[in-house]
Structure 1
Amino acid sequence: MHRRQQHRLDTGMLGALHVLAQLAATHRPISHLVADYRRYAASGEINLPITGDHRQTLRRVAERESAVGGVIDRTDGLTVRHADGRWFNLRASHTEPLLRLNVEAPTESRMATLRDEVLRVLGVSR
């Protein structure tokens, strides 16, 4: 749609107006509206103190995940995807001495299992 047809509104603003209209029409909190669109269970960002060379740590995790069939991508730290839809990203923070881990999977239990496996490889107990 051309911007003139949107009455010169920024598309972000138009999207926000649609969300506000849904909230008013359904009288439901926004968390209920977005729940229908959640594809994955997510760990949220887990911050871990860096001990030693983080590149060596990422290599160790990549070797382990590759051995169990994970597809490795090093575009932003280390992202590993599994055929069953589970994935995680592990990367060094650019501003703090931390490794940041994010894990997602189709179900909460599969996310928790993968999260705990990666933490175990990193030497972190939960």
Structure 2
Amino acid sequence: MWLWAKIGRQDLLAHCRRSRGKVLLTCRIPRERVLLSEFDDWHRVLNGSPNILALPGESDDAYGDRLNLVLDDFFDRVSAAGVEHDPVSTWPQDLRPEIEASWETILDPSNYPRTSYWTATVHELHAEDVTEAVRFVD
């Protein structure tokens, strides 16, 4: 089950406005039952994209410039290999280990910026994990 683990109040409210008729659960789940990831980093995996971390002290502009160069180079090589629409598991041995190695950082919360959104996945949700339930009216 997918959950928000950390999200800004305004963004959570924006999501809730699109959830009329649904229920928002607030839960407390022991850490050993939760797999944390940073929202954007996890979506890089889902979208078959490398995860490129900012360097210590790197400005947002410098990171953006470097990120674009790295991604352009990587996806040019993916395109040249003709595998842009194929599952990563079938990619050539020069590309697959590179992208998979970049994903190793996504499960370490020490890599997440303070302002990022954290997601969590749990195998199961127990009734005693739920501390509050709010239904959004139609």
How high is the TM-score relative to the length of structure 1?
A: 0.24
User: Per chain length, whose mean CA-contact separation is higher, i.e. which structure has more relative contact order (CA < 8 Å, sep 6+)?
Assistant: 2
Given the two structures, how large is their TM-score scaled by the length of structure 2?
0.23
| Bigger radius of gyration among the two | 1
